[in-house]
Amino acid sequence: MLPRRLTAREVFEQQRERLGLRWLAGQRGGENSIEAEEHRTRRPSLAGYLNVIHPNKLQILGREELQWLDSLDARQRWETLQKVCDFRPLALVITRDQGCPSDLREIAEETGTPLWISPQAGHELLSQLQYVLARALAPRITLHGVFMEIYSIGVLITGESGLGKSELALELISRGHRLVADDAPEFTQIAPDVLDGTCPELLQDLLEVRGLGIMNIRQMFGDTAVKRNKYLRLIVHLVRAGDADLEGLSRLTGETAARPVLGLDVPVFNLPVAPGRNLAVLTEAAARLHSLRAKGADPAVAFLARHAAFLDKTSHP
């Protein structure tokens, strides 16, 4: 699993244009950071309105928060601001381009606490910053394989080296499916039951096939042949197999299993690689079958129920 860390300067640079951020004070606190481990244990959240009891890592000061500070006497106000900065927040953000109190700017500069201002409303800042922080610090892992979109389903093709994963991916692309990432797709848990797969920037749009080398799929097949990201829903695992192995497969349910990825069980179809087997068609069928099962329609279960009903009928004429 990849370690995650985010600094105040990184957040500011990433969101400056979108949120109209300006840096008012505390520039030397640009390296203030939050770790992924802290993200999983924080209370109540990464970003939120000013809270001096359970401080958010990124504190938003809207109209109500500034009015509350104004209601305090001079001593209470300074002690409160000092307490807020002592928690070492990632940053403080003033909403709606409100005037920044001079004492807030002063203490932010003294303590090296990044102080930003934005023309956006508080709820807009909160929604965007919570999303950005949660996604950036979410658990992430890199898996070996080719990640594709097949019939709108995110499918990871895995298997030993030399089994033809890239050749299979190339054939699927020629059949109209889309490439997300080859060799080292990255998966991020963006929700309790959602794994989002993306491609490392270095490998974007590229597919390596033995004998042909590295190909740029976007240039060869067009923009519609690649996709920036996709949720992982299925793994198709290629395995070496002889005739004896094929005979031992379950004829009703196929070779299915589950693989844990960041604590989530992802369904797996094990497809034996053998002469005469069209892996592209089989992979497409696996995606369609998974889609049916996700909707509650399992052909194997339906057949077994039909078979049991038939036996019951014949045994009790």
- Residues assigned a catalytic role: 144, 165, 183, 251
Q: What is the DSSP letter of 296?
A: T
Residue 63 · residue 98 · CB < 8 Å: yes
Q: What residues form DSSP beta bridges with 92?
A: 59, 115
How far, in Å, CA of 9 to CA of 33, rounded?
Answer: 9
User: Which pairing describes strands 206-209 and 22-25: parallel, antiparallel, or unpaired?
Assistant: unpaired
CA–CA gap between residue 94 and residue 98 (Å, rounded)? 7
DSSP lists the bridge partners of residue 88 as none
Distance CA 285, CA 271 (A): 11
Structure tokens at 183: 């060799």
Residues 6+ apart with CB under 8 A from 6: 33, 34, 90, 133, 136, 137
CA dist 190 and 229 (Å) reads 12
Cα–Cα distance between 155 and 135 in angstroms, integer? Answer: 21
What is the spatial distance between Cα 27 and Cα 25, in angstroms, rounded to a whole number?
6
Contact 140, 188 (CB under 8 A): yes
245 in helix, strand or coil? helix
| Nearest to 235, CA basis, from 199, 196, 286, 281 | 286
